[in-house]
Amino acid sequence: MTTPYTPPTVWTWDSSNGGEFAHINRPVAGATHEKTLPVGKHPLQLYSLATPNGVKVTIMLEELLALGHSGAEYDAWLIRIGEGDQFSSGFVDVNPNSKIPALADNSTDQPIRVFESGSILLYLAEKFGALLPTDPAQKTEVMNWLFWQMGSAPYLGGGFGHFYAYAPEKLEYPINRFSMETKRQLDVLDRQLADRPYIAGDDYSIADIAIWPWYGALVRGDLYNAAEFLSVSDYKNVQRWANRIAERPAVQRGRRVNRVWGDESEQLAERHGADDFNPA
């Protein structure tokens, strides 16, 4: 049992409070340094890293290109969040919240900035008329699950993932609390996928693209090294769905973009064209 913590009357920031990301976490927003973001030749400029939230967008772009939407060509620039790239003046201009991914659409008369991964998925789906149903009932079901992911993943990432994998010490209470919630969420998905191939029904959509990099990666053993701990083999329907999506060529390409860890064959620090996946 750890020593009980009594909060002070007024919280103050201790910059040395430990944890893997303590050196970049701070209680204020805004830029820490001046730096202009690079701009490539394509209509869409993505500034990201291959975290689950970043992977959502690169999968989406690769899926759009696979469907023949040439206007979805993009440059993907690496943002090293461990080094504080997200606090540059250029990045803050695109996303004042200093979180990846961030997108600039330069195909319009006035460039449009899009931030928050769910907003980017919805923006691209509507821009290209793809991976989002037009029927009101079906579209609403996709949106239900898109927003489910937005609200649920912080419990998995900032909750379970932080205390299980990144906190300076393992504490029983928060790990138990967020493990319970993560398993409840997996059960929600398992029940939803019991009688349908994709999250929102018969068709692959932005709901699947949003959910797979978090929960698909978790049940495939690619997130937090926690598959055995969470008994992910219990969620047969989620595993079936996750493995089906993992077989999609656009997903395989998308998960490589802005990845700078793991097997070298799965890394692609920046992406500026389709040839980057198979260099000469």
* pTM for the full predicted model: 0.96
pLDDT in tens, 63-99: 999 999 999 999 999 999 999 999 999 999 999 999 9
Residue 28 reports pLDDT greater than 80: yes
**Cβ-count burial 4-20 (b if 16+ within 10 Å, e if not):** eeeeeeeeeeeeeeeee
CB atoms within 10 A of CB 260: 13
CA distance 224 to 267: 19
What is the 3-state composition of the chain as percent helix, strand, coil, each rounded to the nearest 5?
50, 10, 40
pLDDT in tens, 97-116: 999 999 999 999 999 999 99
Residue 279 reports pLDDT greater than 90: no
* DSSP H helices in 1-135: 52-66, 89-94, 117-128
Matching residue, tokens 């820490």: 32
According to DSSP, the β-strands at 44-48 and 74-78 are parallel
Question: What pLDDT shows up at residue 18?
Answer: 65
Residue 280 reports pLDDT greater than 90: no
* DSSP H helices in 89-132: 89-94, 117-128
Question: What pLDDT shows up at residue 24?
Answer: 84
**Percent of all residues in the chain with a pLDDT value above 70, rounded to a whole number:** 98
pLDDT in tens, 127-161: 999 999 999 999 999 999 999 999 999 999 999 99
Question: What pLDDT shows up at residue 159?
Answer: 97
Radius of gyration of the chain (CA): 19
Averaged pLDDT score across all residues of the chain? 96
User: 15: which 2 tokens?
Assistant: 């910059």
